[in-house]
Amino acid sequence: MTIKDTAEEWQVTATETPFVGNKTSVRTDDVVMPDGSVVRRDYQVHPGSVAVLALDDTGRVLVIRQYRHPVRHKLWEIPAGLLDIPGENPLHAAQRELYEEAHVKAEDWRVLTDVYTTPGGCDEAVRIFLARDLAEAEGERFEVSEEESDMELARVPLDDLVRGVLAGELHNNCLVVGALSLHAALHGDGLDALRPAEAPWPARPFEA
């Protein structure tokens, strides 16, 4: 038996969008169930995101600490951001986020993993990249504002992040998935076996 997610779309008999925000919206669909009943499903429509697990040559991961108002926490995270432009190449978006949030560039890029963050209530898809061969970016630093003006940066050994995740001390989705995926890759087939940075992403198709 092959354990693999498969694309499928059940019939929608009616749909409406009761809320439209700056970046996301809320959609309500009436969906036909296998038994023929029709149920209503509300979910957030999201443009998608990218995140970057940047690993330096000493085995440390670049992390940022940022206030997240919905959960009333300052969370340790990895650089991440929205796919603001429809059809945007996710690698280009990831490179931009690494520059803007950490003023860092990387020479080696791989796809670490792809996830749906909360598929029961949101269609957000995130591609998490592994970035290596890090260096300071050229030019002026990106001008930050709002929550990002209070952001902290650090480089933390991967093993410390894994311990923090398993101890319930680190909670950001992309950091948790990224750190555990990297740990698994290092103890499995190795980083060179990861998918190339331009690997297809059916959840958010893009032009190379």
Distance CA(128)–CA(61), nearest Å, equals 14
* 124 flagged as catalytic: no
Distance CA(30)–CA(71), nearest Å, equals 30
The partner residues of 55 in beta bridges, in order of sequence, read: 61
| 31-125-170-72 Cα dihedral, nearest 10 degrees | -70
Distance CA 183, CA 185 (A): 6
Catalytic residue among 147, 148, 152, 198: 148
Distance CA 53, CA 109 (A): 10
Strand partners, 40: 30
> Which of the residues are catalytic?
148
